[in-house]
Structure 1
Amino acid sequence: MGKDVTTKNDEKKLLKKKYTEGLFERYIATKDVEIRNEIFKEFMYIPEILSKKYINKGVDYEDIFQVASLGLIYAIERYDPSKGYEFSSFATPTILGEIKKYFRDKEWIIKVPRRIQELSRKINMSKDHLQHKLMRPPTIRDIAEYLEVSEEEVIEAMEGSYAYSPTSLDVRISNSKDENDLSLFEVLGMEDQNISEVEDKDLIKNIFAEMDEYDRKIIIDRYYNNKSQSDIASELGVSQMTISRLEKKIIKKLRDRISY
């Protein structure tokens, strides 16, 4: 009796395996969305199970399930039955990867490009390594050479990392002279915009008069006409990286001129 039940279960598993293999073969051959949807229904239990593991992690279950479902679709698209792997074994790490990627992205309060996020993580890891190797804090050049990227890219990623955990204006600041703590917003100074605006305009007018036409165009297009570096580069017939470097140099000149 027990053997008969076991045999029937094995037969069902074998039939189901052949059925799903047939679905994948048909989908690879036709790329028919209806077939993909059928495969999705067959394996929808995987994202359901994996999503439940992330309940109470600060994100709604429905949001996680949508991400996991997207991971399942990616797995279906990439799966090759001829490799001999079970689809569930192939799909699980793919889905988990999408979920973890989703949580990493949510940690960045201000959205920045993924390349900057990834480079920022590499920079943070390289700092400890270089600190021990060089016996001193690594410079931007040290980090750039170690990661085989430009110094401009390192600076860009380091600036972008401030989006990871910006300080809230509602944070309470301890006041030893008073029992009542103040928020950061309450202790920030407020400028008279009318006075500073007149001074700034006069200063900027004088500085612009001293700049050459090329530099002036870059600054005006970037900060007054809201053009991207790519747009300006296209107009001037140079690379976007060239405009980025020039912009940084011009800003440095402006800062030096203002602080003079």
Structure 2
Amino acid sequence: MYAPERQQAILGRARAEGRVDVTSLAADLDVTSETIRRDLRELERRGTLRRVHGGAIAVERRLGIEPAVEERYSVQADAKERIAKAAVEHVLGLLPDGGSLLLDAGTTTVRFADLLPMDRTYTVVTHALPIASLMVGRPNVTVHLVGGQVRPGTLAAVGPWAERAFAEVSADVAIAGTNGISAGRGVTTPDMAEAATKRAILRSARQCVLLADSSKFGRDEFAHVADLSEIDTIITDSEVASDMVDEIRTAGPEVVEA
């Protein structure tokens, strides 16, 4: 396989899976690790990948391009499952019986909602259509659906209506997702309206929990959502580089690795 073909294969995998690692690529493409590192440097030079510890991530979201909701469910699926389970365990320790949750849009937050137990009562406020649809039939949950302009990319209502609605409540815990997280810029996302709604969610809860798989770390998206000091806990998977975890913890949040 020539270098251009190999680099195209690497880029395709990164776009499909969210992240690639040097060791797996070297084994699958039958080349040395140094050859893969050269390919990653070249792809980063072209602006199509961003190198991170041990591998690289695709950068489409840094350019404001978001994959369809259906595509995102399959990206990092195993990691999202572990994160969602750890998040349920963590949040149940914070949430009183009859307590309230603000649920942000996102594939991991949908899985979190699906795993919430049926033997406790709580109120859920969300702007995400998939979460509202999932929760509305549960007898132990009171669901409030926030309105606004629905973004096809996330199936979430955003804009001034949504922001005002979240500002009018004070919840026990907010569960938020993100497209990017870094020590320098904090929590970021490609869309400004989405970012403003996420800010409203985070500011309306006493505890803020962020769910982010390892592919989101080291990414700086277009629109700033919040500084890391505004986040109480980040729940991620075990693939995040240890030095990056240390940087995040230094900035304030507790980091739970599932």
Q: TM-score, normalised by structure 1?
A: 0.21
Who wins on radius of gyration, i.e. which is larger?
Answer: 1
Higher relative contact order (CA 8 A, sep 6+): 2
Q: Name the structure where helix makes up a greater proportion of residues.
A: 1
Q: Name the structure where strand makes up a greater proportion of residues.
A: 2
